Amino acid sequence: MAEALRVGIAGLGTVGASVARVLSDKAAELTRQCGRPIVVAAVSARDASKDRGVDLSSATWFVDPVKLAEQADIDVFVELIGGDEGPARASVTAALEAGRHVVTANKALLSRHGVALAEIAETKGVLLNYEAAVAGGIPVIKTMREAMAGNSVSRVFGILNGTCNYILTRMEAEGLSFDACLKDAQRLGYAEADPTFDIEGHDTAHKLSILTALAFGTKIAADDIYMEGISNISQADIRAAGELGYRIKLLGVAQRTESGIEQRVHPTMVPTASVIAQVHGVTNAVAIETDILGELLLSGPGAGGNATASAVVGDIADIAKSRPGFQHGPVFGWPAKELKPYKKAQMRSHAGGYFIRLTVHDKIGVFAAIAKRMADNDISLESIVQHSAGADNQKTVILVTHETTEAAVRKATDGITKDGHLTDKPQVIRIERAG
């Protein structure tokens, strides 16, 4: 049997401790599967005395993760610190420069510095594995890097944040407000004390930028993503979506167009009968559309210690199975130095149309003024519905458009706002007809 694979873990929070426990509890099974033992040889954490539910007495302790990466007697450096700068970036860079394989769950680090880190890994001939960085326990990275050779991807999209999906699921199922669902998500540990990163779409955008590089062979462009979160979704939107035969999901979408690559994160209405609409709670789902395979949908646990630890251990096991002299594939499917510059797509018509909710003064002429603003911007309407807004002298007007552009919709709603007809900000949500 080959000698043991020596692992160093930097960061012993929920995920790091779970990884150490899995490697210990499943040691015999992993040895059979990989053909060699996997041992935790070194760790880095602030408090060496804390009980993490696993015996780490045989591991060498480092306060500084960079020193662990540089000096520890290890083959694989596992970064579970988090953050796109500071100790995470410094330690991963040090490990790769030292010729050590790296496993990370850090989507923020990869979305900001992934291409540069990939260049180091490929120059040094080592692996940079990051399955846990996107969609938790779903093996989407392995699928796109290894199982889809020859396929040309036209679109990749999905539910990439469990916190947002949990909140939207609860809002629909129980009629709760966004704020009530968020507080419950925080109580259950699904959302952070400061949930901005999740609910405003940043987490989804980081993950989407990585999938975009894998799908289209472009450099990561996390700053070029159109982004909206879910904090402005109300029960009025949830109910209206249901009446129209839709369900609201926060989607990350990347697709190839004639003018470039389009990346967007925003609340989306999807048909209730579609597969993506059936993904509830903290579950994630990723759909990949290709020329050979057609559409592939991967779904599963998107967050939590066990789901993330499973993906990390899978990456470690892949390294354990590799042998000296084996030529590793490129980190993002294409050699890092050959990744094309990201070209942002031009604004184009959205085939699914838009849902527009307007709360207006209930007076003569308002409805006609709204219709005129839509016509002036060449927006064709599929349906118009009026409801009482629950307050005196107010009405809710719900419009569903045919195919049109984001620019036209925004110009029309800006005009309606300037006309003084609205009592609240307009709500605009894209509609996806399929998915």
- Residues with catalytic annotation? 207
* Distance between CA atoms of residues 435 and 273, nearest Å: 10
Name the residue among 165, 383, 408, 379 with its Cα closest to residue 283. 165
Grouping H, G, I as helix, E, B as strand and the rest as coil, residue 103 is: strand
Q: Where are the beta strands (DSSP E) in 308-432?
A: 349-350, 354-361, 381-388, 394-401, 404-405, 427-431
What backbone phi and psi angles, to 5 degrees, belong to 9? -110, 120
Quote the distance between the C-alpha of residue 247 and its chain's center: 19
How many residues would you count in the chain? Answer: 435
Grouping H, G, I as helix, E, B as strand and the rest as coil, residue 153 is: strand
Q: Which two tokens stand for residue 226?
A: 């159109």
Q: How many CB atoms lie within 10 A of CB 159?
A: 28
CA atoms within a 13 Å half-sphere pointing along the CA-CB vector of 108: 15
Residue pair 281/165 in contact (Cβ under 8 Å)? The answer is: yes
Q: Which two tokens stand for residue 114?
A: 């992934």
What backbone phi and psi angles, to 5 degrees, belong to 81? -85, -50
